[in-house]
Structure 1
Amino acid sequence: MGEAATTGTVHSADGTSIAYERSGTGPPVILVDAAGGFRGMGPMRSLAAHLAEEFTVLTYDRRGRGQSTDTLPYAPQREVEDLRALIADAAGDSASLYGFSSGAVLALLAAAGGLPVTRLAVLEAPFEQDEQPPDEPDLAADITRLVAAGRRGDAVLHFQRSIGVPAEVIAGMRDGPGWSATEAVAHTLVYDLTLLTALPAEALTTLTIPTLVLDSEQSDARLRGWAQGVAETLPAGRHRTLPGEWHGVSDEVLAPVLADHFAGRAD
C-alpha cells in the first residue's frame, strides 16, 4: 500500500516540536487524532495505510503526546499553529484534513481559522451548538487533580465515563496492551476538553470548504445528533451515516468514502 512511511518533525510557532509520519504519494491529507490518540495509539496509522494508495498522508502526534513536545500554557490556537506548520513544512502549500472526535473539532477550528485547507472530513465531532455541557469545567479540574496526584489511570477512566463511553468499551481498553500508553497522555485530556469550547457555532456558518460530516450507525443519538447539526450548519456540508460500531467506523468502510471525498469524486 503506497510508499514506505518516512518520519520527521516540524516546529510550531511557539517552538514546540511536532513529530509526524508521511506515506504515499498524491494530494496531501493530514489525519487529526481524537482525545488520547497519537501515532502509536489509535486508528490513524492504519487508516493512513489505506489512504496512501492515492494520497500523501500525514499522521502526527498532537502536542504533549508520543514524540511531540509540549509548551505551556495550553491554548487551542497553538494546536491550530501546529497544523499550520505541518501544512507549510511537511505537506506543501495546502492540505485536506480528516479529524475524528475532538480531532474533528480541531480540524474545523483550523479550517475556520483560515488555514489553507482544501477539503475537510470529520467523524462525530463532539460539538454542541446551543449550549456547552455544564460539567466540562469540573471534569477538566478533576482530571488535572488526578494527574497531579499520580493517578493517571483513574483520570483516564473518569474522562471516559464522563463522556459516555460504554462500560464494555472501557473494560476492553483497560485490559488491552496499550493501557500504559493511554495513561501517559492522560494530562492532554484537559487539552481536548478546552478545545471543545473554542469553536463558536457562528464560525461554521462561514466555512465554505467542502466538508463531509460522518457518523456511525451504531453510535448513540447524541453523537449522531451532533454530526447532523454540524452538517446542517456548514454551507458546504454533506452528512453521511456509515456502518460501524459505537463512535467508530472500520478502515475498510471509512477509507474509500474519505478517498472519494478528498478526490472530489463524490461531489
Structure 2
Amino acid sequence: MQTVTSADGTTIAYDRVGEGAAGTVILIGGAFSYRKFPSMIDLAQTLADDYDLTVLNYDRRGRGDSTDSPGVYDPANEIADIAALVEVAGGKAALFGWSSGAVLALLAAQSVPGITEVVAFEPPFVVDPKDRVPPKDLADKLHPMIAEGKRDKTVRYYMTKAMGMPLMMVGVMRVTPFWKRLTETSNSTAHDWAVMRPYMRGEKLKAADWSGVEVPVLVLAGDRTVPMLTKGAKAAAEILKDAEFAELPGVSHDPKIAILAPAVGEFLTRAK
C-alpha cells in the first residue's frame, strides 16, 4: 500500500500493480467498492499481466485505508483525489470507472490534466423518466444515517432507494459474509450520491454538460444488465465527442473480469 495526499488533506491509499510499458490506468470503483474488492484486484492484475499496464487501484475517500471528509460531500474533492493520483503516475494516466466510478471518471476527464482515455463501465445514468428515479430527498435522509453511525440502515437505504435493488434481495444479502464488507464502506455512499445526484433524474443527458471530455472514451455495458443501465451507457456514448459503445456478452453489473478485462486492455493499448 502507498498513499498520496489530496488537495484538502485527505489521505488516499492505493496499490501499484505492475510496472508496464504500455501506460498507466487508474481504477475507480462504484458504490461500496474498494481496492481490496476481489473484482478490482482481479482486474488490476489482469491488466498488468496481460496488457503490460501499470495499474493504480485505490480506495476512494471514506473507504478502506483512505481517510474521509465527514459531512463534506463534493465531487470536486474526489476529482482532486484523481488529480493527485495522476501526478503519482507521472502526470499522465487513463481512467477506468465502474458504475458511479464511471461517472466520476468522466467528470474528472473534463478538468484534470494528463488524462489520456476513459473506460466507463455501466455509468448509472437514469435518462428515461419511465425508469425508477431516486427520491429527491435522498441526501436529507442518507446524511443523518451516516452521521449517526447507522451502517446497516445506510446500506439498506442506499441499495434500495439510490440503486433500486429489491428489498428482498438486500434482505438475502444481509445474511451473507459479504454484508460486513458493505457496512464497512457504507459511509462513502454520500460521496457516490454527490456524484450521481444530478444524473439520475430521468432526464436526457445534455451534450453541453460533457463537452469538456475531449479524450477517447469507451462506454461498456453487459448484455445481462438491467435495461436502465444499458440506456444510460448508450446515451453517454451518443453525447460524448469521441466515444464508442460496446456490449459485453454474458456480463451483468457485477462483471466477469475474464470478459471485461480484454475490452478494457485492448482499448487502452491499441495503436493511437
Deviation at 1:47, TM superposition (A): 0.8
2:6 aligned residue: 12
Aligned-residue CA RMSD in angstroms?
A: 2.3
Deviation at 1:184, TM superposition (A): 2.2
1:28 aligned residue: 24
1:218 aligned residue: 224
Moved more, 202-211 or 212-221: 202-211
AA at the equivalent of 1:231? A
Q: SS at the partner of 2:83?
A: helix
Q: What is the percent sequence identity of the aligned residues?
A: 36
* Cα distance per residue 1:30-67 (max 9 Å; x no partner): 00010111112352111101111110001001011110
Gaps of 5+ in 2: 200-204
1:195 aligned residue: 195
1:244 aligned residue: 250
Say whether the 8 Å CA contact 1:242–1:249 is kept in structure 2: no
AA at the equivalent of 1:214? L
Say whether the 8 Å CA contact 2:83–2:112 is kept in structure 1: no
Say whether the 8 Å CA contact 2:79–2:112 is kept in structure 1: no
Pair 238,172 (structure 1): closer, same or farther in 2 beyond 3 Å: farther
Pair 233,143 (structure 1): closer, same or farther in 2 beyond 3 Å: same
AA at the equivalent of 1:123? F
Name the CA distance, whole Å, in 1 between partners of 2:148 and 2:195: 24
1:174 aligned residue: 174
Name the CA distance, whole Å, in 1 between partners of 2:172 and 2:54: 32
Pair 209,169 (structure 1): closer, same or farther in 2 beyond 3 Å: farther
Deviation at 1:168, TM superposition (A): 6.8
Name the CA distance, whole Å, in 2 between partners of 1:9 and 1:98: 19
* Cα distance per residue 1:181-239 (max 9 Å; x no partner): 31122121121111114678423234221110000111111110000000001111100
Name the CA distance, whole Å, in 2 between partners of 1:185 and 1:137: 23
